[in-house]
Amino acid sequence: MSASGPRMQPTLFELSKPGRRSDKVPHPPSDALDRLPAEHRRERPPALPEVNEPDAVRHFVNLSQLNHAVDTGFYPLGSCTMKWNPKVNEWAARLPGFAQLHPMAPDAVAQGTLQLLWEVEQILIEVSGMAAVTLQPAAGAHGELTGILMIRAYHRSRGDMDRTDVLVPDSAHGTNPATATMAGLRTVSIKAAADGGIDIDAFKAALGPHTAAVMITNPSTMGLFESRIGQLLEAVHAVGALAYMDGANLNAILGRFKPGEAGFDVMHINTHKTFSTPHGGGGPGAGPVAVVEKLAPFLPAPRVVRESDGRFRLEGVGERPTSIGRMRSFVGSTGVLVRAYAYLRTHGGSGLAEITDDAVLAANYLKGRLAASGAYDIPFPGVCKHEFIASATSIKKRTGVRTLDIAKRLLDHGFHAPTVYFPLTVDEAMLIEPTETESVETLDAFADALIAIAHEADTDPETVKTAPHTAPVRRLDEVSAARNPNLRWRPAAGDWTPCPD
Amino acid sequence: MAYGPHTPADRQRMLASLGMHSVDELFADIPPALRSSPLRLDPPESEQVLMGRLANLAGRNRIDLASFLGAGAYRHFSPPMVDHMLLRGEWYTAYTPYQPEVSQGTLQSIYEYESLIAELTGLDVVSASHYDGAAATAEAALMTCRATARDRVLVSRAVHPHYREVVRTYFHGAGLNVEEIPLVADGATAGTTDLGHLERALADGDHPVAGVVLPQPSFYGLLEPMAESSRLAHAAGALFVAVIEPVSLAVLAPPGAYGADIAAGEGQSLGIPPQYGGPYLGILACTDALVRQIPGRLVGMTTDVNGKRAYVMTLQAREQHIRREKAASNICTNQTLLALAATVWLAALGPHGLRDVAALGAARAAELEAALAAVGVPRLHEGAYLNEFVVRVPNAVAVHRELLENGVLAGLVLADAVPDEPGVADGLLVCTTEVTTTDEITAFARQMEGALAVTAHPVGGAA
Amino acid sequence: MVPPDLHYTKDHEWIRVDGDTATIGVTDFAAHQLGDVVFVDLPATGRSIDQFATFGVVESVKAVSDLYAPVSGEVVGVNPDLGSQPELVNSDPFGKGWMIKVKVADAAQVDGLLDAAAYERLTAEA
């Protein structure tokens, strides 16, 4: 982007002009609302903007051009798996048979979607090495809550009422401890070992009759496979606790490691990470949860059931009393799952394994280039999985330029920044995840940019510290935004009088 | 691999740079005992074959029915410009605006969404979105507990049964109490929240109430006594939560007008296709006083270092990535693209169009009520409604099935959907919107007449 | 930078005792570590607080910290200016940026806190 590139736009409200009408729908008879009792009526119509189609479309097209996106460039946002979002997925989700199906349509008229959902479950069972899957959770964190509530229900079903603790490594996503709290449990934070991996002794010391679960991200948020996971799972099960796997990094292990086979009891899967459903500017996602056999009775309702005659149905109300209940309305984010299904079918078993191989190859290649340059600290040398950490600690000491500045300077090079300052356990962290769909040329260009910025930090630190210079806006005043929040447009009185009746 | 960029030579070059010969060496860190069996899945499929498979599956769903099904998900007209916008990769292939300087499009669109919903609800703080109406309602109920430091919430049985279930799931997990307020059994207010019961429940001084949750319109389509309930809740020191349907807010009193502290609801009706349950749009709005209690992302207007207007995620210290186990909620990924859909849809329709949508749905509903009454199928309740209502049908399950075979999706069988609500056991919940046609209404009434005859005198003894 | 007449906790709160009431805030060191303070959440007057338990929260844009009570007691005053001017915590942490006043339950608790010299050593190590 350059100064002559996309420009900031006025708000929709400032484009409004009283009296503009769109005639998108027919006009109702004038007495349509006469039967509404006065006490329930709105006194003043909502002051919504009045814009015509050309102005509105230009507004949103111009706004869209202010975004960096996978469709516009490299997006190495660690732990988010910003891979290519295939266009056939969008076509599939928009097929009228899928898009226009009502969520409470009788099973008899929903057989196509029900079969699709059932097939997605079967594929995820195979990928996870688990016994059963729910597709209901709407996102990864929602899946975490689902999984932890099921673990809680499992313990309680056995009369094991005193398991209150959830053990979480301090490098975990914030959603893990926040989930434990939502499930009425207590988070016990466990420090990572010096090599970035699980500290078995620290876990063993914390495990006991009060442990409900451990939550482990594997590979970890440092991009490292937890090689001591076997020992940990044994120790967890020995005290009667269950093991939850945060599947955020599933892209690194498809066909190489099946959490269920290895001994995990529950995991969630982020379809918007591993299975290419688009991130949508922040969502939607979907967070299917896979469980071992003994947890299947507690899965959220309703599940998709395949009858002996090959037809499909949803469980009825109250059909499975052991269920933890509903996590959301209806059956799930089916439109997201249609996209995931297209992706899973496109790749099949061999293709999914290749995804992981290429994702890990790309991360290691990029890590190798940065390590060879010496431009950044690489706190965990050796093989990584699909992502890795670089740090600007030395650069900061030398020049005062911080990770944040480097992230902003990358924007001037046309790249999205990596995830920064996460995990919290590494100083000046940059978590870099290239994904399998980026070419070696792109990886090289990104490495070159990072190396050039490190050099620039020495020669012209001010330019780095004041970046970005070519984005639509410069750095933002986040302090004022938080001290005096302006969270909505406030139309000045009398600016327009919308919707004259 | 379908979308992979590497040639075999690329892979060899990348491996060679690492001093490796095989990609297997990159997985040497997985202990042999933990390495998995190969994926037993079908082979890859070409795009052409895949598209055939998907078209075939989609074709096995029936969407050609004259549908009178609502119950929390509604068919509405969506101008082509809405999907035109959603198909732009700049929107749908971006993620959370962590780098605001290159995410101003998403950020401004969320700010506009927040502003539009604030205007519709009459409440000033609107979250960037939640998973769906049910999850938003559960979060609203949890907010009332945090804000009042109380642990008991009253939820009307007029709230959508799925939402009530989700509130129960969340509350059970958090160790909080949720009680349901029953419906009035008969008379002019039958089917609406029993205010006498509500008042008694609020009067229990030993166990003060954090929040009271009522819907408008109700699951049964009825208009609820929101102003009176809000007054009762506040008199007991509780907060009042309105579960809303946003299209209806074009014509119904907004939550802010009757003193609601929080509004939660399903935004699917704002231009989002039904798509068998999601992704949808959880709306959550509250008063300024509760801004620190609202979970989920908030976008605010600010300036850049040059003083230029810009937008940024703000008040992030409420959120899980900073507050961890002390966060108000674990929500991270939300429904931003659906909030964009709602924003574009509202821009396309404008205030006049939105009012027309609400009023036309209401007009069609009156037509439907008359047409069904004319064939001997009256409303179950007497109270006012907007565009959805319950009719009393003897043998509703069989009638519904019979109608389905004749191309009519006759709403929702309440005996199946809410088996614990005996007062509606004979009920079908039916709905109209602006896309319902007079021909569909005529066909529904005609088929209903026939179905009643068949199910009353089953041919061949099969009921 | 560390006023000599105050007592301190290792969590960077300060306390100034005046008769049986005391004023509590966070140190300059804490304010600096947090960055620009954007919000302070404090208990209402009349609430009792327990020594070393959390009594409130202070937020900056990207961080949040619990506030720990140096002593037990009843809250008898809350700084009314921090609601609209949380930046006082940064600009004048030992003065206009004070947070609460408490009626001290047990004066002996104060003696167990760090004095200025000990606190200065603590922050020098950090």
At A492, is the pLDDT very low, low, confident or very high (cuts 50, 70, 90)? low
pLDDT for B456 beyond 90: no
Rounded mean pLDDT of C69-90? 95
Closest CA–CA distance from residue A375 to any residue of chain B (Å): 18
Question: Which residue is closest to B293 within chain C, CA to CA?
Answer: C41
Name the residue in chain C with its Cα closest to that of A424.
C63
Mutate to test the interface with A, among C34, C38, C87 (most CBs of A within 10 A): C38
Interface of C with B in 11-50 (CB under 8 A): 38-39, 41
Going by C-beta distance under 8 Å and a sequence separation of 6 or more, which residues neighbour residue B46?
none
Q: Closest residue of C to B322, CA-based?
A: C63
Taking the mean position of all CA atoms in its chain, how far away is CA B178? 21
The answer to whether the Cβ–Cβ distance between A256 and B172 falls below 8 Å is: no
Q: Which residue of C has its CA nearest to B291?
A: C39
DSSP states along A287-337: --EEE-GGGGGGSPSPPEEE-TTS-EEEPPTTS-TTS---SSSSS--HHHH
Classify the phi-psi angles of A282: left when phi > 0, otherwise alpha if psi is within -120 to 50, otherwise beta.
left
Asked if the Cβ–Cβ distance from C59 to B326 is below 8 Å, we say no
Share the mean pLDDT of chain C.
Answer: 93
Report whether pLDDT(B463) > 70.
Answer: no
Of the candidates A184, A281, A466, which has its C-beta nearest B336's C-beta?
A: A281
Q: How confident is the model at residue A4 (pLDDT cuts 50, 70, 90)?
A: low
Q: Report the C-alpha gap between A203 and C116 in whole angstroms.
A: 38
pLDDT in tens, A430-462: 999 999 999 999 999 999 999 999 999 999 999
Q: How much is the pLDDT for B1?
A: 77
- Answer whether A159's CB lies under 8 Å from A411's CB: no
Instruction: Kindly state whether A471 is in contact with chain B, defined as any CB-CB distance less than 8 angstroms.
Output: yes
Give partners of A (≥3 CB pairs < 8 A): B, C
Which pairs from C50-57 meet CB under 8 Å and 24+ separation? C51/C109, C52/C9, C55/C100, C56/C99, C56/C100
pTM of the model: 0.96
At residue A196, the pLDDT reads 87
Q: Sorting pLDDT into bands at 50, 70 and 90, what band is B458?
A: low
In terms of Cα–Cα distance, which of C119, C102, C112 is closest to C23?
C102
Residue in chain B closest to C65 (alpha carbons) equals B323
The answer to whether residues A143 and A291 touch, using CB atoms and an 8 Å cutoff, is: no
> pLDDT tens, A38-65?
999 999 999 999 999 999 999 999 999 9
Per-residue confidence (pLDDT) for residue C126, from 0 to 100: 66
- Chains touching chain B through at least 3 C-beta pairs below 8 angstroms are A, C
Q: What is the pLDDT of residue A280?
A: 97
ipTM of the complex: 0.97
A320 in B contact zone (CB under 8 Å):
no
Put simply, the answer to whether C60 touches B323 (Cβ < 8 Å) is no
- Interchain CB contact of A210 with B (< 8 Å): no
For residue B456, give how far its alpha carbon lies from the nearest alpha carbon of chain A (Å). 22
- pLDDT value of residue B462: 44
Residues of A in contact with B94 (CB under 8 A): 67-70, 279-281
Q: Residue A168's Cα: distance from chain center in Å?
A: 19
* pLDDT (0 to 100) of residue A2: 43
Is-contact A79 A386, C-beta < 8 A?
no
A483 touches chain C (CB under 8 A): yes
- Contact status of C36 with chain A (Cβ, < 8 Å): yes
DSSP assigned state of C48:
E
pLDDT in tens, C16-40: 999 999 999 999 999 998 999 999 9
Nearest to A296 by CA among A440, A121, A446: A121
- Taking CB atoms and an 8 Å cutoff, what residues of chain B touch A186? 325
What is the SS3 assignment for A41? strand
Q: What distance in Å separates the CA atoms of residue B169 and residue B172, rounded to the nearest whole number?
A: 5
Mean pLDDT of chain A: 95
| CB contact set of B93 (below 8 Å; sequence gap of 6+) | A69, A70, A71, A72, A85, A278, A279
Indicate the angle between helix axes B336-374 and B438-456, nearest 10 degrees. 60
Do the Cβ atoms of A213 and A243 come closer than 8 Å? yes
**Across-strand partners of A161?**
none
Q: For residue A499, what pLDDT band results from cuts at 50, 70 and 90?
A: very low
Residue B247: C-alpha distances to residues B113, B136, B434 (Å): 14, 17, 11
A157 to chain B, any CB pair closer than 8 A? The answer is: no
Does residue B322 carry a pLDDT above 90?
A: no
Taking contacts as CB-CB distances below 8 angstroms, the residues of chain A near C36 are 479
Q: Is the dihedral of CA C15, C16, C22, C25 positive or negative?
A: negative
Those of residues 396-415 in B touching chain A at CB distance below 8 A are 400, 404, 409, 412
pLDDT one-digit tens code per residue, B54-101: 999 999 999 999 999 999 999 999 999 999 999 999 999 999 999 999
Residue A305 has what pLDDT?
A: 97
Best mutation target among A31, A120, A476, A483 (most B Cβ atoms within 10 Å) is A476
C61 and chain A in contact, CB less than 8 A: yes
Residue B337 pLDDT grade (very low, low, confident, very high; cuts 50, 70, 90): very high
Pairing verdict, β A211-217 and A242-246: parallel
Whether C87 has its CB under 8 Å from any CB of chain A: the answer is yes
With H, G, I as helix, E, B as strand and everything else as coil, classify residue A117: helix
- Locus of tokens 């990572």: A192
Looking at chain C, which subunits does it touch, using at least 3 CB pairs closer than 8 Å as the criterion? Answer: A, B
